[in-house]
Structure 1
Amino acid sequence: MSRASLLKPESVSPTADIHQIAGILAEREVTYVVSSDKMLLGAIYRDSLNLTPNFIAEASERSIEACELMTPKERIPCISLETHLDSAISVFLETELKEIPVLENDRLVGVLPLRSLLKGLTESLGSVKHQQEHDKRSSMILQSINEGLIMIDKDLIIREYNRAAEELLGAKASERIGSKAVVKTRGGSPVFEVMKTGKPRFGVMSPLADGRIFSVNYVPMLDNGNVVGVIQTFQDITGQEEMRSQLLSSRDELDRAFALTLPNSRVEHKLKNTAEYRDIYDSDSGQITITEVIADGGYKHVVNALKVLADLNNKGIMSLLGISKDVLVQSIIFHDLGKSQPQFEIGQTVDPLDEFEESCAHAERSADIAAHFYQREDDVIWLIKYHHHPESQLPADFPNHLRPMLRLLKLVDGLSAALTRRNGKITLDVDGTKVYVYERNPHPDFDKSRVVDLFTGETREIPDYPDGTG
Structure 2
Amino acid sequence: MEDILMDRCDLPVVPPDASLKEVAKALLESEGALVIVEKEEGVYGYIDGKTIIKWLLMGDEGAKFKAKDIAVLIKDEDKLESSMDIEAIVERINKCGRLPLFTGKEGKIAGRLSPDKLIGELARSHGEERKKRVDTEHLIEAVINLLPFGIALVSEGGEVVQANRLAMEIISENSIGTEEMKAIVKNNQRKIFTTKTGTYYRMCTDILRETNYFLVTFADITAEYTMMEKLRSSQSEVETAFSIMLPDQRIEARLKSIVEYMDEYDESTGMIKITGVIKNGCFRHVINMLKLIADAFRQGLMELPGMDKNALVQATVLHDIGKVQPDLKIGDIVNPKEVFEKGHHHAFRGADLSRALYNIDDKVYYLIKYHHHVENELPSDFPQYLLPMYRFFRLIDGLSAGITRRGSKVAMKVKGTRIHVKEESSFPTYNQEIEMDIYTGFFASRKL
The SS at the match of 1:452 is strand
Q: CA RMSD in A?
A: 4.0
Instruction: Kindly provide the amino acid, as one letter, of the partner of residue 405 in structure 1.
Output: M
Select which of 391, 394, 411 maps to 2:375: 391
The SS at the match of 1:260 is helix
Mapping of 1:325-340 within 5 angstroms?
A: 325-340=309-324
Q: Please say if 1:144 is aligned against 2:128.
A: no
Deviation for aligned residue 1:361: 1.7
Contact in 1 for aligned 2:419/2:437 (Cα 8 Å): yes
Contact in 2 for aligned 1:363/1:387 (Cα 8 Å): yes
Greater relative CO (CA pairs within 8 A, separation 6+): 1
Q: Which residue of the partner structure matches residue 373 of structure 1?
A: 357
The SS at the match of 1:439 is strand
Q: Which residue of the partner structure matches residue 262 of structure 1?
A: 246
CA distance in 2: counterparts of 1:392 and 1:365, whole angstroms: 21
1:246-283 C-alpha deviation (Å, 9 max, x unpaired): 33212211221221222121000000001211111122
Identity of aligned residues (%): 34
The SS at the match of 2:173 is coil
Instruction: Kindly provide the amino acid, as one letter, of the partner of residue 401 in structure 2.
Output: A
Instruction: Kindly provide the amino acid, as one letter, of the partner of residue 193 in structure 2.
Output: S
Instruction: Kindly provide the amino acid, as one letter, of the partner of residue 289 in structure 2.
Output: A
Select which of 231, 243, 251 maps to 1:247: 231
1:28-80 C-alpha deviation (Å, 9 max, x unpaired): xxxxxxxxxxxxxxxxxxxxxxxxxxxxxxxxxxxxxxxxxxxxxxxxxxxxx
Structure 1 unaligned regions, length at least 5: 1-127, 170-181, 465-469
Deviation for aligned residue 1:389: 1.7
Select which of 141, 151, 174 maps to 1:185: 174
Q: Which residue of the partner structure matches residue 39 of structure 1?
A: none
CA distance in 2: counterparts of 1:160 and 1:411, whole angstroms: 51
Mapping of 1:7-406 within 5 angstroms?
A: 131-147=133-149, 162=165, 183-186=172-175, 188=177, 193=182, 204-207=191-194, 212=198, 214-215=200-201, 225=211, 241-406=225-390
Mapping of 1:449-460 within 5 angstroms?
A: 449-460=433-444
Contact in 1 for aligned 2:158/2:180 (Cα 8 Å): no
Contact in 2 for aligned 1:205/1:213 (Cα 8 Å): no
Structure 2 unaligned regions, length at least 5: 1-129
Instruction: Kindly provide the amino acid, as one letter, of the partner of residue 131 in structure 1.
Output: R
Contact in 2 for aligned 1:216/1:232 (Cα 8 Å): no
**Higher-Rg member (1/2):** 2
CA distance in 2: counterparts of 1:245 and 1:234, whole angstroms: 20
Q: From the superposition, tell whether residues 330 and 206 of structure 1 become closer, same or farther in structure 2 (CA, over 3 Å).
A: same
CA distance in 1: counterparts of 2:348 and 2:274, whole angstroms: 27
Contact in 2 for aligned 1:426/1:438 (Cα 8 Å): yes
Q: Which residue of the partner structure matches residue 438 of structure 1?
A: 422
Between structures 1 and 2, the one with greater helix share: 2
TM-score scaled by structure 1? 0.57
CA distance in 2: counterparts of 1:300 and 1:448, whole angstroms: 22
CA distance in 2: counterparts of 1:383 and 1:364, whole angstroms: 10
TM-score scaled by structure 2? 0.60
Deviation for aligned residue 1:302: 0.7
Deviation for aligned residue 1:337: 0.9
Instruction: Kindly provide the amino acid, as one letter, of the partner of residue 333 in structure 1.
Output: V
1:355-375 C-alpha deviation (Å, 9 max, x unpaired): 222211211111111111001
Contact in 2 for aligned 1:204/1:216 (Cα 8 Å): yes
Instruction: Kindly provide the amino acid, as one letter, of the partner of residue 133 in structure 2.
Output: Q
CA distance in 2: counterparts of 1:225 and 1:438, whole angstroms: 43
Instruction: Kindly provide the amino acid, as one letter, of the partner of residue 459 in structure 1.
Output: F
CA distance in 2: counterparts of 1:367 and 1:286, whole angstroms: 30
How many residues align? The count is: 318
The SS at the match of 1:312 is helix
Deviation for aligned residue 1:284: 2.2
